[in-house]
Amino acid sequence: MLSGGKKIKDTDYGKTLGDMGMRNHDIITVKKNRYEEDIPHVNLIDPATRQLTVAADRVFNNWYDKYSDKTGFMTPLSTTRFILGATNESV
């Protein structure tokens, strides 16, 4: 968070501090976000059709909707959060 209460968002990726309005002697507060969630377990492939199961398709689409930005795209930060959520491993 920048001084004045402005929060740095995923969409600010690649911007300089000056681009985000940071000035000399401003204070930045940083905290580490932890993304912990229950990870659903489903069969990925239907053995009869050899296609993605409906349940797996739903999980992947829900994750994409959860982690993509407001324009519907994945940013480097949201991709990192997605990988952490999908694998429960640090990236």
- Quick check: 22 pLDDT over 90? no
Model pTM score? 0.42
pLDDT digits (tens, 9 = 90+) for 58-86: 888 888 888 888 888 888 888 888 888 77
Q: How far apart are CA 40 and CA 56, in angstroms?
A: 9
12, 80 in Cβ contact below 8 A?
A: no
- C-alpha separations of 54 from 58, 60, 63 in Å: 6, 10, 14
pLDDT digits (tens, 9 = 90+) for 39-60: 667 778 998 999 999 988 888 8
Question: What is the structure's pLDDT at 39?
Answer: 65
Average confidence (pLDDT) over 30-38: 67
